[in-house]
Amino acid sequence: MSDTAQEKLKKLTAWDTDPALTEDELDELLAAAAVEDKDGLAPLHEEWTPTYDINSAAATGWLIKAGRASSTTETEPESFYITSKIFDNCCRMAKIYRAKGKMSLSVANVANRPLGG
């Protein structure tokens, strides 16, 4: 069985690794990244096939994680270095997904494809 859009986004954002994202936040990211489906139906259309710009959702997720890392304060000098690296990594990941451009993920297409397809 193929991944749902949320499962795919979890993988792309390392969602449960600190600074973590919640499942509700992932759902919000997907809702914000909803796009027209292959039939040209808008997300508010009742026959819309759930389709998302998954790279945009992942980039925004990494920016949220960067924001959380930037506000982390540690008392140990080496902790600042580690926090700074986490922030840098989150920003780098956001940049990678922004650079990938628009790639839509249709839930119907994913559900019907064989594993690895």
User: What pTM, to 2 d.p., does this model score?
Assistant: 0.79
Residue 17 lies in a domain: yes
Residue 115 lies in a domain: no
Q: Determine the structural domain holding residue 85 and report its residue range.
A: 5-109
Residue 92 lies in a domain: yes
Residue 114 lies in a domain: no
Residue 76 lies in a domain: yes
Residue 90 lies in a domain: yes
pLDDT value at position 95? 95
> Residue 107 pLDDT > 70, yes or no?
no
Stretch 22-37: mean pLDDT: 96
Mean pLDDT of the chain: 85
> Residue 27 pLDDT > 60, yes or no?
yes
As for how many domains the chain has, the answer is 1
CA dihedral 14, 18, 22, 27 (to 10 degrees): -40
Sorted by sequence, the CB contacts under 8 Å of residue 50 that are 6+ apart come out as: 5, 34, 37, 106, 107, 108
Residue 116 lies in a domain: no
Residue 117 lies in a domain: no
Residue 22 pLDDT level (bands cut at 50, 70, 90): very high
Q: Render pLDDT for 33-82 as a digit per residue (tens, 0 to 9).
A: 999 999 999 999 999 999 999 999 999 999 999 999 887 766 666 666 67
